[in-house]
Amino acid sequence: MLKIRSPQMDALARERLERFVDEATAVVSRHWKEQAEQLGTAATRERVYQAVLQAQSHGIVRRDDTLRYLNVAFALGDDFVEKFAWAGRIVTNTRLRPDVRISLLVERTASYLDGFEVE
């Protein structure tokens, strides 16, 4: 019987993470084109990578949920969980499923951004 050892599992997980970060970076670069162009490819990818890790640390691991989390991160800034108490309360509320938390986070972010005056 074939056995997959822990280091092999770790390598597979890293490879899957790297592929997802590449895919997510392409999505972010299309949807947040101006920010991505200002940052450059390498910095945009690193920002996506760090946000993906942050999402995972909050139990947000599904592809679509993570992409929504990235959208919030690019809308509010990388430090949004610390900067906005309401965001921190939402993402750390383990009584709610991750998909519910991300939906609440997206809704609250949209409400917050609606309050800004655009010049």
Identify the sign of the CA torsion 11, 55, 20, 43. Answer: negative
Query: pTM value?
Result: 0.86
Calpha distance 103→90 (Å, rounded): 10
- Give 119's pLDDT tier (boundaries 50, 70, 90): very low
Domain assignment of residue 9, yes or no: no
Domain assignment of residue 24, yes or no: yes
pLDDT of residue 15: 86
Domain that holds residue 85: 15-114
Across the chain, mean pLDDT equals: 90
Which element (helix H / strand E) includes 22? helix 6-31
Domain assignment of residue 5, yes or no: no
| The amino acid at 81 | V
Domain assignment of residue 2, yes or no: no
Domain assignment of residue 26, yes or no: yes
Domain assignment of residue 92, yes or no: yes
Give mean pLDDT, residues 84-95. Answer: 96
Residue 81 in contact with residue 54, Cβ under 8 Å?
A: yes
Domain assignment of residue 6, yes or no: no
- Give 10's pLDDT tier (boundaries 50, 70, 90): low
Domain assignment of residue 3, yes or no: no
Percent of the chain with pLDDT over 90: 81
Span 80-89, pLDDT tens digits:
999 999 999 9
Q: Considering its fold, how many domains does the chain have in total?
A: 1
